Amino acid sequence: MNYIYLYLAVIALILVLYIRRQLRIHTTHATEFEQIEKSGMNEPHSLHPVIDPVRCIGSGACAKACPEEALGIINGKAVLKNAAACIGHGACLAACPVEAIKLVFGTERRGVDIPNITPEFESNVPGIFIAGELGGMGLIRKAAEQGRQAIASIRKKKYSKADFDVVIIGCGPAGLSAGLSSIHHKLSYKLIEQEDSLGGSVYHYPRGKVAMSAPFELDLIGKVNFGEIQKETLLKFWLDVVKKTGLKISFKERMEAVEQVDGQFMVRTNRGSYRAGTVLLTMGRRGTPRKLEVPGEETAKVTYRLIDPEQYAGMSVLVVGGGDSALEAAIAISEQKKSSVILSYRSTAFSRVKEKNRLLLAQQEKAGRIRVLLNSSVHAIHERDVEIEHDGVTQRYPNDAVIICAGGQLPTPLLQKIGIQFETKFGTA
C-alpha cells in the first residue's frame, strides 16, 4: 500500500514540475511575443510557417527545431512569436509530429510578389527562367535543387547561337548549383553577382549563425549532406566547390536590363552587354542596396552591410539608417575597443525597431559610445571625414568608414519591365 502512495507522490511531483515548466515557457514566450508585437516588427520577410491551432498539440518540437527561436509555445499552442527572425528554412515543418504546420508567403496584411513560373522553372517570358529565393524558395536545399533542375530544362531548349547558352544572375545556392550544372552539361555560361561575395542571403547572416539544410544533390560534386551548419562553414564549402570545379563567377557585376533582340536576350550590366540564348534569374529578394547618392559614396571606405564588427576597432565609423540593421551595426561597432560611432537617421525618431535594440542604443549613447544624430542627412563623404547636416547645421566629422543600412531596391520593377508577371500572395503557399 505504501508503494502506491509513493508512486502517486512521484507522479504528482512530475506533474507539478511539468506544469511549472510549461507556465514558465508560456510566460517567457508570451512576454517576448507582446514586446515584438508592440514594436511592429512581427512581420515575416518571406516564406514562413502558419500553425493550425486545431491540429497543434503543443509538443514544442517545432520551437526546439528552430535555430532562430522564431517559434514559441503560448497557451499550449505553437506561435510564430518572432516572425522577423524567421528565414523560412522549414525545419519546423519537418519537426512537427502532427502535420500542424504549412509554409506560406505573405500575410493577410502584407502581400509578397511571387513570379509565375512553370514546373520547368520557366517564366511567362519564354527563355527566361527563375530559381531560388526570387521564386519564393529561400531554403538552401530546394534552391540548389531548383538551380540544377532549371539548367536541365534549359539544355533541352532550342535557341540560336549566342555569346552564352545561359546567363545566370545571382550567386546564392541556386546560382552556384546552376553554374555547376552548366559545366556538367557543357553549356556556355556567364554567372554574375552584384556583390563581392558568393552565398546570397547566407552571406548576410550574422557571424556564427546556424543555417539549416537537408541533403541535396550538386552536379560535379554529388550528394551534399548538411544538417545544422554554421554560416562560415557553409560559405567555406561553397568556396571549396568553386575552387575544385573551376566555376567562373563575375563579382561586382549588376544586371541593369534584359532585352529581347532577334530571338535572343541582350543582358546589359554595369560592365558590358552579353547575348544569351536563355537567362536564369537566381538573385535573392534583398534587391540592390539603396544608395545615398552623395559625393564620395563610390569610395572603398563605404559599404552597405556589417560583416565583422571587430574590423572597425579603433576607427571612427558612420552608420546611416534607422532600422534594426542600422542600430545593430552601430551597437556592435560601439562595443569594439577604441571605436567611435555616429548613427545618422533622417527622421526625428526611430520607428519599427526592436525594443531590445532601442534600449541597447540608449545605453551606448548614454555611455558616450555612440552619437545619435536624428533629423540628419549625409551631404558628402571625404577621405578623412564626412559632412552631415543636423538640425539645419552642416558639420564635418572625422571618419574612417561608412556603413549605409538604408534597405534595398527590390528587383520587381526591373523584372516587370522585362515582362515577367507576378502574383501577390497573402498568406498562401
- Say how far apart CA 74 and CA 89 lie, in whole Å: 22
Q: Which of 312, 324, 171 is nearest to 250 (CA)?
A: 171
pLDDT at 401 over 90: yes
Q: Which of 405, 390, 383 is nearest to 298 (CA)?
A: 383
User: Residue 304: which pLDDT band, with cuts at 50, 70 and 90?
Assistant: confident
Q: What is the pLDDT of residue 90?
A: 73
Q: pLDDT by residue (tens digit) across 210-227?
A: 665 667 889 999 888 876
Q: Which amino acid is at 360?
A: L
- Say how far apart CA 283 and CA 415 lie, in whole Å: 11
| Exposure on the CB side of residue 323, measured as CA atoms within 13 A | 10
Cα angle for residues 239, 308, 321 (degrees, 5° grid): 120
Q: What is the pLDDT of residue 29?
A: 67
Q: What is the pLDDT of residue 132?
A: 85
Instruction: Name, of 111-115, 238-242, 382-386, the range with top average pLDDT.
Output: 382-386
User: Residue 375: which pLDDT band, with cuts at 50, 70 and 90?
Assistant: very high
Q: Which has more confidence, 356 or 270?
A: 270
Q: What is the mean pLDDT of residues 121-140?
A: 82
For the chain, percent of residues with pLDDT exceeding 70: 84
- Say how far apart CA 118 and CA 154 lie, in whole Å: 13
Q: Which amino acid is at 364?
A: Q
Q: pLDDT by residue (tens digit) across 257-300?
A: 899 888 889 999 989 999 999 999 998 766 677 888 899 998 88
3-state secondary structure of 153: helix
Domains present along the chain, CATH in parentheses: 2-104 (3.30.70.20), 112-287+410-425 (3.50.50.60), 302-408 (3.50.50.60)
Q: What is the pLDDT of residue 205?
A: 59
Q: Which has more confidence, 116 or 176?
A: 176
- Say how far apart CA 71 and CA 380 lie, in whole Å: 43
Q: What is the pLDDT of residue 274?
A: 94
Q: What is the mean pLDDT of residues 54-78?
A: 85
Of the ranges 25-34, 179-188, 221-230, which one carries the lowest mean pLDDT score? 25-34
For the chain, percent of residues with pLDDT exceeding 90: 35
**pTM score > 0.85 for this model?**
no
Q: Which has more confidence, 158 or 416?
A: 416
Q: What is the mean pLDDT of residues 12-35?
A: 71
pLDDT at 244 over 60: yes
Q: Which helix (H) or strand (E) holds 299?
A: none
The alpha carbon of 308 is separated from its chain's Cα centroid by a whole number of angstroms, namely 17
For 260, list phi and psi in degrees, rounded to 5. -90, 125
- Say how far apart CA 188 and CA 172 lie, in whole Å: 19
